[in-house]
Structure 1
Amino acid sequence: MNINIRKATEKDFPAIFGLIQELAEFENGLDKVSNTLEQMYEQKDCFDCYVAETNDDEIVGMALYFFTYYTWVGKSFYLEDLYVKEAWRGKGLGTQLMDKMIEIAKAENCKRFRLQVLHWNEPAIKLYEKSGFTVDKTWYNCDIHSL
């Protein structure tokens, strides 16, 4: 079956939101998801997304990203989520999505490409290292969730 990697549109938001929830469940954090589909529509200018779509129009993967600025390097690319449905893993979709993200970051002249990965997600770590990432274990996440 052929897979098409294409830029997402608003009509894809329900499927993307479903993938976000699947990812949260996979990461044992579904209870931490406070985003909503309505919020995605309201904040659509804050992110971009590419989807992996079958020739049956089923969205089976996604890569959601945004641009940011890091004072030490300048304009940067931040990959918030890369997710492929379980039944489609191991078929190269993650690599195809990652290649597209790297292509976009280069085309946008980004000086850094950053993402986060859970320490126990070995398949993702292997994909990222294969793509050229260095896994840095020295920084901690610091968040405020109730603004």
Structure 2
Amino acid sequence: MNIEIRKATEKDFPAIYGLIRELAEFEKGLDKVSNTLEQMHEQKDCFECFVAETEDNEIVGMALYFFTYYTWVGKSFYLEDLYVKEAWRGKGLGTRLMDKMIEVAKAEKCKRFRLQVLHWNQAAINLYEKSGFTVDKTWYNCDIHDLHSFD
């Protein structure tokens, strides 16, 4: 089956949101998803996305990213999520999406490409290492999930 990797549009947001929820369930964190489809529409200028679409117009994968700035290196590319539906894994879609992300980062003259991966997701780690990433195990994530709690 022929799969097209293309830039997502707002009409794709429902399918992308479905993939986000699938990914959260896969990562055992569905209860932590507070994003909504409405919020995605409101904040559409904060992210970009490519999708993998079948000939039947089914979106079976995505790569959602944004640009950021790191003081040590400058403009950078951050891949928030790369996800392929389970039935479509092992067919090279993850590699094709990753190749597209690297192409975009290069075209945008980014100095760094960064992503995060769960320590137990060996299939993803293998893909990232195959794509040229170094997995650094020295940094911890530090988050505030409710900024309004400081009011």
TM-score normalised by the chain length of structure 2? 0.97
Matches of residues 28-39 of structure 1 in structure 2 within 5 Å? Answer: 28-39=28-39
What amino acid sits opposite 2:11 in the alignment?
K
C-alpha separation in 2, matches of 1:102 and 1:78: 11
Residue 49 (structure 2) pairs with residue 49 (structure 1): yes
Match of 2:130 in 1: 130
4+ runs deviating over 4 angstroms: none
**Structure 1 residue 79: Cα displacement:** 0.1
What TM-score does the superposition give when structure 1 sets the normalisation length? 1.00
Instruction: Give the unaligned 5+ runs of structure 2.
Output: none
Task: Letter of the 1:17 partner, please give it.
Answer: Y
Size of the aligned set, in residue pairs, is 147
Unpaired segments of 5 or more residues in structure 1? none
- Which residue number corresponds to residue 141 of structure 1? 141
- Deviation of 1:24 (Å): 0.1
Summarize the alignment of residues 47-126 of structure 1 with structure 2, pairs less than 5 Å apart. Answer: 47-126=47-126
- Measure, in 2, the Cα distance between the counterparts of 1:36 and 1:144: 19
Cα distance in 2 for partners of 1:29, 1:142 equals 17
Match of 1:120, as an amino acid? W
Confirm or deny that 1:10 pairs with 2:10.
yes
How big is the alpha-carbon RMSD for the aligned residues of Structure 1 and Structure 2?
A: 0.2
Matched residue type, 2:103: E
Distance 1:72 1:10 in 2: 34
C-alpha separation between the residues in 2 aligned to 1:122 and 1:80?
A: 17
3-state DSSP class of the match of 1:143?
coil
2:27 equivalent to 1:27: yes
CA deviation digits over 1:4-31, x for unaligned, max 9? Answer: 0000000000000000000000000000
